[in-house]
Amino acid sequence: MKKRKRGEARRARVLSSKVLFHGRVFTLKRDRVAEPSGIITTREVIAHPGSVVVLPVLSDGRIVLIRQYRHAAGQYLWELVAGHKEPNETAATGAHRELLEETGYTARRIRKLLEIFPSPGLLGERMDIFLAEGLTKGKAQPEEDEKITQKIVSLREAEKWIRSGKIRDSKSVAGILFYARFVAR
């Protein structure tokens, strides 16, 4: 455990907070804070309930990727399965739900690989990335606003897609490379 300097707080103290926008998935706030370093400043922060990300691995080692249009990026992206956590839902339950919705697969085993913060300068979202194994194919159940296609690729091919820029989504890059480096045989 890293030793704190004398007088250094663990977290910022929120001196005041104002909600600027409250949406279906996130809230935008303007906080006046005393940061652990002692700096008093104003930060605009997106509060988010967190997301789950799923790396589905078939018994032969190939992985399931999805492609969907992402309005904020203005393009279609190849990604891992993902979605925000529902209220009172555990991350593991959310991972099972998202896997079924977006691919139709169910998993006998889901285990957490890592946690990431995709943009911690302004976004409070934590993404829990899971490995899904023991997959059984079923029928996808996408939400009304989701148009998703799937592709099954080898891990080596997914790494090539990352290197070439075909996969550019940060959660997918992190999950695939973590799996390739620390988990896959």
pLDDT at 109: 98
Mean pLDDT, rounded, for 17-29: 97
Please identify every residue annotated as catalytic: 146
Which structural domains are found in the chain, ordered by start? 13-47 (no CATH), 51-182 (3.90.79.10)
Q: Measure the CA–CA gap between 170 and 127, rounded to whole angstroms.
A: 11
pLDDT at 142: 85
3-state secondary structure of 130: strand
- At 135-156, the pLDDT tens digits run 999 999 888 888 999 999 999 9
pLDDT at 146: 83
pLDDT at 144: 84
Mean pLDDT, rounded, for 82-88: 94
> Does residue 21 have a pLDDT over 70?
yes
> Does residue 10 have a pLDDT over 70?
yes
Mean pLDDT (the chain) is 94
> Does residue 34 have a pLDDT over 70?
yes
pLDDT at 7: 52
DSSP 3: P
Tokens describing residue 167: 């996969």
∠ CA 175-177-181, rounded to 5°: 120
Count the neighbouring beta carbons within 10 Å of the beta carbon of residue 73.
10
Q: Which residues pair with 81 in a beta bridge?
A: 54
Q: Indicate the residue type of 54.
A: V
Q: Indicate the residue type of 167.
A: I
